[in-house]
A = this chain, B = another copy of it.
Amino acid sequence: MASLKKYRVDSKFKLAQVSPGDTPFLEGNEAAQVAEIDALAAELDEMQDLLHAEGRRKLLLVLQGMDTSGKDGTVRWVFSRTSPLGVRVTAFKAPSDDERAHDYLWRCHAVVPRTGEIAVWNRSHYEDVLVPVVEGWIDKAEAKRRYAQINDFERLLVETGTVVVKCMLHIDKDEQRERLQARIDTPGKQWKFSMGDLEVRTKWNAYQEAYDKALRATSTDHAPWYAIPANHKRHRNLMIAQLLMKTLRQMKLKAPPADPALKGMIIK
């Protein structure tokens, strides 16, 4: 297996240093890769069962990335074998009036994973330091304050039993063009396209820069960021599945021991 460490965001990180088209985690032919993802997905399902059986900890997977970077696809393939009972996905949209009337972490806190659960956030609280920075709604001092607030919030989660994994799905602008074009050209996919996506696309460089700053400021020991080369969809799935498996294995999950009181008990 390739090294995940290389893709872990540190204090000098820039997205430009990772090539979106790289495929370090792909091995063998397509059939072998598909089989590997499926095997990992099955193992993830077993791990989630153990997480639930243990009943003490939680896992939060944060997925960020530009439009079409494959956040939905990641959820579909990485959790293809996990029962929906154990995985709760929240897709964060532009905040509603009610959400705007609260602090920006309020709606996130409401959907953190419960004991035994894996929660996946398709977009997240990070939108609130990316969009406002790019749009110029907040200044540098406020952005810095938010990075610190986010680090504090994530530390709370970690200190109360949540393991936090954060992935930036890194595609390049050409790949996005192809994916948007495919949405326009495929009749059954057109509903996925929104003119707003083009508006955001014109600010590509500003977003890359905002990501660089946010990722550097919030890739902590307790909740690190990983940059996932994501032009190649199978690579993206495989790398994220391996990252999750590695994380879950490190948790050394164990089902509770047998209860001696139940030994030999016969139900009538």
* Chain A residues engaging chain B, CB cutoff 8 angstroms: 53, 55, 72, 75-76, 79-85, 87-89, 91, 120, 122, 177, 180-181, 184, 187-188, 190-191, 193, 198, 201, 255-256, 258-259, 262, 265-268
Nearest 8 pairs of A and B residues by beta carbon: A76-B83, A84-B87, A53-B191, A84-B84, A84-B89, A85-B89, A181-B267, A180-B267
Closest to A192 in B: B53
**Copies of chain A in the complex:** 2
Q: Are A267 and B85 in contact (CB under 8 A)?
A: no
What residues on B are CB-neighbors of A187 within 8 Å?
A: 255, 258
User: What's the Cα separation between A81 and B55 when bound, in Å?
Assistant: 26
Is A91 touching B85 in the complex (CB atoms < 8 A)? yes
Chain B, residue nearest A180 (CB): B267
**Residue pair A83, B75 in contact (C-beta under 8 Å):** yes
In the complex, which of the residues A55, A76, A85 has the most CB atoms of chain B within 10 Å of its own CB atom? A85
Across the interface, A72 reaches (CB within 8 A) one of B80, B85, B91, B265, namely: B85
Residues of chain B within 8 A of A89, CB atoms compared: 84-85, 88
Q: With A and B bound together, what is the CA distance between A88 and B191 in angstroms?
A: 22
Query: A190 → chain B, closest Cβ, in Å?
Result: 6
